[in-house]
Amino acid sequence: MTGMLASVANLAEARLAAAAGADIIDLKAPRFGALGALPVSEVRLIVTELRGQRPISATVGDLPMCPSTVFAAVQEMAATGVDYVKIGFFPEGDWDGTLEILRSMAAAGVSLVAVLFADQPAELDWLPRLAKAGFAGAMLDTMDKDRGSLTEVRDAEFLRAFVNQAQAHGLLCGLAGSLRARDIVPLRELAPDYLGFRGALCHGARRVAEIDVNALQYIRAMLHASTATA
């Protein structure tokens, strides 16, 4: 069954998402970029209050693919106690070196999720390499939120291949990227493990708007309705 990931920017939003039944509470700061990171102190506060209620993920920020920089950020975020640490694989930089340096962290039990970007070259051959490095999951998102939703950036054939290959290699698979209610049914048919939402949960500009509980409940109901009828 496809679950719902709700991206939240503070404790108040995290409480709303948990109460509304979001399957994963995802901590990020949209005002700082596609994968903007919340302060570690705030992440720790949210984890302390919501630990055990829902799985919690957190991004480490829009970082250059510099192995030592990414490693330090992942190490710091993992220490907060989140269930998953999300790392954006941004264009250019040292992807191989970053993957290699994170092997030890994955081996130590940190659940790492790689975020690849559909509006950038997102080669599917990275999926087996992520699995071999010990990553727990792979997510397909978008960098430029003004280009439209994931379904407008990539065709169904590519999205299906991403989901199938990720799951074939034992990776938890998520799809996100300016998703709206209209995207739920076609993406649910691909059977990803979860769909990620932020803008659809807010009224107003994604980067500054706050989550609206009615929008959150509506998206969750849509997702579960499509699941029930699939």
How far is 59 from 62, CA to CA, in rounded Å? 9
Beta carbons within 10 angstroms of residue 31's beta carbon: 11
Structure tokens at 31: 């005002």
- Return the axis-axis angle of helices 11-19 and 213-229, rounded to nearest 10°: 40
Count other Cβ atoms within 10 Å, centred on residue 151.
19
Instruction: Check if 28 is active-site.
Output: yes
Decide if 145 is catalytic: no
Catalytic pick from 6, 8, 20, 28?
Answer: 28
Q: 193 Cβ partners below 8 Å, 6+ apart?
A: 2, 3, 137, 167, 172, 173, 174
Q: Which amino acid is at 191?
A: A
Catalytically annotated residue among 54, 86, 154, 198: 86
Could you count the other beta carbons within 10 Å of the beta carbon of residue 111?
19
CA distance 217 to 82: 24
The torsion region of residue 64 among left (phi > 0), alpha (psi -120 to 50) and beta comes to: beta
The b-or-e profile of 204-224 (16+ CB within 10 A means b, else e) is: eebbebebeeebbeebbebbb
Residues recognised as catalytic: 28, 86
